[in-house]
Chains A and B, each alone.
Chain A
Amino acid sequence: MSTAALYNDQGAAEAAVEAGQETTPTSSSSGAAFGLFSTDFKKNEDLKEMLESNKESLKLEAMKRIVQLISKGKNASELFPAIVKNVASKNIELKKLVYVYLVRYAEEQQDLALLSISTFQRALKDPNQFIRASALRVLSSIRVPIIVPIMMLAIKEAAADLSPYVRKTSAHAIQKLHSLDPDQKEQLIEVIEKLLKDKSTLVAGSVVMAFEEVCPDRIDLIHKNYRKLCNLLVDVEEWGQVVIINMLTRYARTQFLNPNINESLLEEGSGGEKMFYGSDEDEDEDEKEKKAEAAAIAKRKPYVMDPDHRLLLRNTKPLLQSRNAAVVMAVAQLYFHLAPKAEVGVIAKALVRLLRSHSEVQFVVLQNVATMTIKRRGMFEPYLKSFYIRSTDPTQIKVLKLEVLTNLANETNISTILREFQTYIKSMDKDFVAATIQAIGRCATNIGEVRDTCLNGLVQLLSNRDELVVAESVVVIKKLLQMQPEKHSDIIKHMAKLTDNIQVPMARASILWLIGEYCEHVPRIAPDVLRKMAKSFTNEEDIVKLQIINLAAKLYLTNSKQTKLLTQYVLNLAKYDQNYDIRDRARFVRQLIVPTEKSGALSKYAKKLFLALKPAPVLESPFKDRDHFQLGSLSHLLNAKAGGYQELPEWPEAAPDPSVRNVEVFTLLERVTTLTSVPEWTKCSSREKRKEKKVEKPFYSDSEGESGPTESADSESDSASTTDSASASVSEESESGLESESEEESETEEEEEDKKEKKNQKKEPKKPVQESESEQSSEEEDRKPEKRSKKLKSDSESDSVEDEGSESESSPSESEDFESEAVVTKKKKAAESKPPSKSVRKEEKKEKKEMSLLDLDDFEPTPSPQVTPVNTLLSNSLATDLEGLSLSDSILSPATIIPSGALKNYELLHRITGEGLSVEYCFSRQPFSPDANMVAVQLQFTNNSTSDTKNLHMEDVRLQSGMRVKEFPEIELLPAGEMTSAVMGIDFCDSTQAANFQLCSHTKKFFVSIQPPVGELMRPVFLTENEFKKEQGQLMGMNEITEKLTLDVKCRNEHAIVQRVTTAANLSRVPCGSDKECSPPVPPPDYPVHRFAGRTVTSSSLVLVTVATREEGAAQLMVNCEKMVIGTMLVKDILLALTQ
């Protein structure tokens, strides 16, 4: 032993030291390291001297060498006294290295460590935030129980520090203290509670981390901070995002209702899973009952999503684009666990993207994808090819990809998948080949159509040269044959022949079992096989021996004439076997099958026992039911509960009170801290300040910066409900309904407060007409923003005029919009010289009100001079950010983009032609998330017949070249009398060519076609008036079409024109058209010009529409579009809309 020799050289003392350290048995370089160490050890003496010298550079040199020792895992604890003296050094690097040392060894040298504490206590008061923070970091890292009170004090102080960086550090320290002394929990929770209120993005991630560590069950602490966290999320650093998202997932599970409640209950009855794995065809009665019950429930109480739930989904979605795989995964699991079924699809693309990353990332992502594919197969189907296996993939990745491919297999894609599997079987990686064969087996069991093909393929593999391949195939074939043995006696015969060649025990055992089980199908061969086996019995593996006994017993029972002696022989051999299991089995079998006087009643049933019909095996994915663990978690990956794992709670039966999340007082006290550290969104308090600091505008949350994040949810809900009251039209199910309900709920609670508020308002001295009251209040709100949130709530349910008030408070940009509108109204009023009679005026007022509400609907932030900062660039980006906000939200967008008027429904399939099934479709005008180039078409299926319709899907899509269709997910079941809807996407290639396809149910097929009106081939874009004019200037000549018209009598006011145009075409209104303040009065103010803009969906060509009104209802319509065909058709459509 070379090391032993070295030990001797070094002397016993050193050897002991060394032995203590070298705990790793495998460190093969210990010899070399040892040589090094001997010099190190000697130098340790001079290290002490160096540390005690006066020269900084020497000290630093010493510390560097000590760090080197630590990094190698060597013990340097005896230097502690010498080092701890340097803790107060002026040299920052030296100080830091001393910190490193301290943190490492303080636990071992507690008494000495205490010497350093006072230094840190002093540093905690340092004016430099950096020094304060690092002092707290080190102080809290010293794991010495005695200093717990000091730490507690330091944490409390730091939590109130002006610097967010120090507060962040204090959040980290909370966890350290908690792990050091769990008794401090209560006090620490107080600090956490305080820090949770912190508005800095820097602190948010760390404090949630501390929350998760210390008190993950105190969900009540989150309520008040929920909306803030949601809104801050994009600006939090990436690691914090992961922790916050995971926590919010759990939170949402306790606070909101299951968005898939209706579907999931239905699913239980005859969901997709059953189709896939279901072998038990008999659907029991009570399940049916349950289903009916569920359907009844669903009818009684339509699901509405809590706006806070929506807020969470909306604010996490952009993070799917993060470069950090952990963030993407966190969002993906959030969507998987929380989002409505229809929306989960968005995560697939992002997860597939992660597959390009490092192999470790791939490994984790694939595990999660595998789990997801079982529940939501459709989600990943379009990405099937991304899971194809490359020969260079590591085996563990290959196996996981195989798992995903198997889960994705269905009737339509099985042939491609099987072809792909065929190449895999030829791989050199034998483990992978074995896994492939298993996968083929699973596909065969799951998809009846290909069972025979698979079986044939596997039988061919039996002649493969590689024994492992053959063995694996045998095992899989055995399982397949068990499903329908009658048909395949020739395969059984073929396999019987293989017993001579195959040596792999498992395979031999499988063949023997198969022959024994189906010996009636192969009456001639079976005894012969037994004969051969009896000969080689003693040399077989245990597992094979057991099956030989099994075979012998079964043959004895069915064919005792031929096999009696053989069986006796085998049983005798087994009786003296070395393995007691085999001896036991032999004894047991003998007693059971060979009739003697002593044999009990059981032997009568021997045949029944041995030859009972065995249920076919179910080949299941190992990932089935793994989703009861939160996806993306360590526990999910290991499929076992890891320490500290927080169970994902089940959805509550009834939604807990949503009002707990309302924030009562919105403090706008700005902390006077360093310039940069001001939490961004508190700045909305004063405009001047915002202007000063606009350079540091937060990146994503500009819009939040405009309106206090705590309110944004409310404001949106308000706007939506106003939309309702104004136009009573938006037919979108979820949002609007939901909001009104949630409001109603909160109404009762806040009624009292509301009354008080009203009283206050009455007390206010100046009370002009109602209208100006709202205006006034809105102005007042601007001046007193502290009151905002309170008022907001109270106003929201007061009468409609006050509603306007609340509207204007909710976000400055909107309020200005409204204000300016109000000013217009005022001016118009002033313009009218003769005061009209009261009733007339009232009427007019109503009309005006409607108009202004409508403009709010349009939601284009009007760049009124008040908001426009000096820098136009920023104002632009602000506007686009706001626009982005509205566009990115698929559910809310209809409320903002579609002005009014129900979406027009078209008939796809009439009730009569569809034999009871009727289908209607409409263009929902929502962005189609899987493919932005597609137009979303919402289909509504109604089953008017008396029987259920199953498996509604699309087939045989015939399209003009270039067009593409994204099919709607198959509808598994549409019970009689029920309705359901689905969304499909069609890329019409900017043409009005129809998309023809077949709509298939489980029994029938119908030819249908969808032809889009030209107005649906575009999506609205936001342009300012100047941009509009500029673009218009470039689309002259051939691209411009002008038409004169006389407006319909009912369509002479602004409101009606806007409504009709936007109903005819999916365009957005260009603001400022009639606003005299913004543009010099080029058009005479009495005859406003309305402008609308959009882009075609596929090619993104601009579509500009101008309606210029003249006297007496005359008007001019102008359409500018690069695509002349679209332009011409659009002119016709709009003309029709305006004149009828």
Chain B
Amino acid sequence: MIHSLFLINASGDIFLEKHWKSVVSRSVCDYFFEAQERATEPENVPPVIPTPHHYLISVLRHRIYFVAVIQSEVPPLFVIEFLHRVVDTFQDYFGVCTEAAIKDNVVVVYELLEEMLDNGFPLATESNILKELIKPPTILRTMVNTITGSTNVGEQLPTGQLSVVPWRRTGVKYTNNEAYFDVVEEIDAIIDKSGSTITAEIQGVIDACVKLTGMPDLTLSFMNPRLLDDVSFHPCVRFKRWEAERILSFIPPDGNFRLLSYHVSSQNLVAIPVYVKHNITFREGSSQGRFDLTLGPKQTMGKAVEAVLVSSQLPRGVLNANLNPSQGTYTFDPVTKLLTWDVGKINPQKLPNLKGTMNLQAGASKPDENPTINIQFKIQQMAISGLKVNRLDMYGEKYKPFKGIKYMTKAGKFQVRT
């Protein structure tokens, strides 16, 4: 399946290679570079590139291209999904997945890749298993290792690997038993010129951080499970139980994991928490354009809209912008023409406003496109869909765990067309 893997950084250097079968020459990446040149934007490089003898399947994460070399038919998503899993694992191990981090930990990276693939076929991708096989590097452990000569490679087959709960190892022990669940919802929306919603969807996830001793069996129930239109589970969730009772029943993995992601369909009306009043105009014949943007809260159920960040790609003709924010700071990059305005928190009494003029290239005609405004925001302690966790119960263990639930709403791909 996966023959080789090359990691390529933003400047086009291959800084790591790993082969699972016979060695494939680096020159195969030339085809990739060619495609990269053709694509104007980094994300426009086609994920699958055919070459005379191989196929290159790549993903772009953290400005690093992970290029897998394939020799014969394989479902492309299989490779793509695997590569993303590799990146997730690196992130899990090193905190960040940057070129520097990978270079610093080459040996661990190699050990990991060796375990994750055998002859190009995924072997162990579950992070709990990997962590038993290869301990993540920490400063303390590195020091201990250098002194005592011990290693960070496990000697035994991970207990999880063979059991029916491969995602959990046995013998987990904690002094404080705690289980935290974060319900995070993202609103994807397209708002049109007049402020009406063209499409709006809610995508939610429940991320869990479970630190419980032994083999706890948890059930999580919702007040209104019918809201969830389409769900995908961590493998630990018992599917049939959900089908029958709409209850999440599972033996959790140890540590952080994504329990569930769900979709609230666009058929249910989605409450849009912010509105934008905008007036961006260019006049024919004038080298100046007007820019006026006001944000306001809407349907937030009394919660504050925080961490608001507005960004907009202004037309190419704009030379610079001379704006005046009523709060926060703005920047305009004259090269990329990207305007960003860090608003902060929206005060409903005094709405944030950004106003001023844009200077156009002299003699340039009025741009006929209007910029799209992308908005990011956060609302704490609220799930916009109204999803509520009813209760969390634990079976199978004696102690009483500490349980916590947090709700948050974020903007996903939230765009306002002007």
Q: Tell me the minimal C-beta distance from A124 to chain B in angstroms.
A: 15
Interface 9-residue window, one of B89-97, B155-163, B286-294, B342-350: B155-163
Q: In the complex, what distance in Å separates the CA atom of A702 from the CA atom of B241?
A: 11
| A-contact bits for B228-248, CB 8 A (1 contact / 0 none) | 011111111011110111000
Q: Which residue of B lies closest to A885 (CB)?
A: B240
Q: In the complex, what distance in Å separates the CA atom of A93 from the CA atom of B17?
A: 20
Given contacts A27-B13, A239-B82, contact A68 B106 (CB under 8 A): yes
Contacts beyond the supplied A202-B161, A633-B75: 17 A-B pairs with Cβ under 8 Å: A97-B111, A143-B22, A321-B239, A326-B81, A363-B46, A391-B372, A391-B415, A392-B413, A394-B44, A420-B198, A423-B417, A632-B76, A632-B77, A646-B73, A676-B159, A881-B238, A884-B240
The answer to whether B72 and A642 have CB atoms under 8 Å apart is yes
B55 within 8 A of A: yes
A680 within 8 A of B: yes
The answer to whether A93 and B153 have CB atoms under 8 Å apart is yes
Given contacts A71-B106, A696-B165, A932-B226, contact A24 B199 (CB under 8 A): no
B313 within 8 A of A: yes
Q: In the complex, what distance in Å separates the CA atom of A143 from the CA atom of B23?
A: 11
Given contacts A68-B107, A73-B17, A700-B240, contact A385 B198 (CB under 8 A): yes
B201 within 8 A of A: yes
A330 within 8 A of B: yes
| B-contact bits for A454-465, CB 8 A (1 contact / 0 none) | 000000000011
Q: In the complex, what distance in Å separates the CA atom of A73 from the CA atom of B240?
A: 49
Q: In the complex, what distance in Å separates the CA atom of A632 from the CA atom of B48?
A: 13
B122 within 8 A of A: yes
Q: In the complex, what distance in Å separates the CA atom of A698 from the CA atom of B198?
A: 45
Q: Tell me the minimal C-beta distance from A16 to chain B in angstroms.
A: 18
Residues of A with C-beta under 8 A to B21: 143, 176, 179
The answer to whether B77 and A364 have CB atoms under 8 Å apart is yes
A736 within 8 A of B: no
Interface 9-residue window, one of B173-181, B363-371, B378-386, B401-409: B363-371
Q: Which of B55, B154, B155, B415 contacts A634 (CB 8 A)?
A: B55
| B-contact bits for A93-129, CB 8 A (1 contact / 0 none) | 1101101100010010000000000000000000011
The answer to whether B78 and A239 have CB atoms under 8 Å apart is yes
The answer to whether A325 and B239 have CB atoms under 8 Å apart is no
A238 within 8 A of B: yes
Residues of B with C-beta under 8 A to A173: 119
Interface residues in B68-111 (C-beta closer than 8 Å to A): 70-78, 80-82, 84, 106-107, 109-111
Q: Which residue of A lies closest to B81 (CB)?
A: A326
The answer to whether B47 and A363 have CB atoms under 8 Å apart is yes
The answer to whether B73 and A635 have CB atoms under 8 Å apart is yes
Q: Which residues of B does A touch, CB under 8 Å?
A: 1, 11-19, 21-23, 25-27, 29-30, 33, 40-41, 43-44, 46-48, 50, 55, 58-61, 70-78, 80-82, 84, 106-107, 109-111, 114, 118-119, 121-123, 125, 146, 149, 151-157, 159, 161-166, 188, 190, 192, 198-199, 201, 203, 215, 217, 226, 229-236, 238-241, 243-245, 249, 258, 261, 263, 266-267, 313, 315-316, 365, 368-370, 372, 374, 395-396, 413, 415, 417
Interface residues in A627-679 (C-beta closer than 8 Å to B): 632-635, 637-638, 640, 642-646, 674, 676-677
The answer to whether B16 and A321 have CB atoms under 8 Å apart is no
The answer to whether B119 and A176 have CB atoms under 8 Å apart is yes
Q: Which of A26, A128, A394, A680 contacts B30 (CB 8 A)?
A: A26
Q: Which of B12, B81, B238 contacts A28 (CB 8 A)?
A: B12
Q: Which residue of A lies closest to B225 (CB)?
A: A1100
Chain A: residues with Cβ within 8 Å of the partner, total of 131
Given contacts A238-B235, A326-B81, A361-B77, contact A353 B156 (CB under 8 A): no
The answer to whether A887 and B77 have CB atoms under 8 Å apart is no
Q: Which residue of A lies closest to B46 (CB)?
A: A396
Q: In the complex, what distance in Å separates the CA atom of A104 from the CA atom of B111?
A: 14
Residues of A with C-beta under 8 A to B190: 388, 390
Listed A/B pairs (26) with beta-carbon separation below 8 Å: A23-B25, A24-B29, A71-B106, A72-B17, A163-B162, A176-B119, A238-B125, A238-B235, A239-B125, A326-B77, A350-B230, A353-B263, A360-B60, A388-B190, A388-B199, A392-B374, A428-B315, A633-B76, A645-B72, A646-B73, A676-B163, A873-B396, A877-B249, A880-B245, A884-B240, A933-B226
The answer to whether A325 and B77 have CB atoms under 8 Å apart is yes
| B-contact bits for A869-902, CB 8 A (1 contact / 0 none) | 0000100010011011101100000000000000
| B-contact bits for A235-254, CB 8 A (1 contact / 0 none) | 10111001000100000000
Q: Which residue of A lies closest to B240 (CB)?
A: A884
Given contacts A206-B121, A390-B415, A394-B41, contact A91 B151 (CB under 8 A): yes
The answer to whether B50 and A638 have CB atoms under 8 Å apart is yes
Residue from B47, B230, B266 having most chain A Cβ neighbours under 10 A: B47
Interface 9-residue window, one of A56-64, A262-270, A507-515, A1117-1125: A56-64
Q: Tell me the minimal C-beta distance from A355 to chain B in angstroms.
A: 10
Q: Which of B84, B119, B203 contacts A175 (CB 8 A)?
A: B119
A324 within 8 A of B: yes
Q: In the complex, what distance in Å separates the CA atom of A642 from the CA atom of B369?
A: 42
Residues of A with C-beta under 8 A to B43: 359, 394
Residues of B with C-beta under 8 A to A330: 75
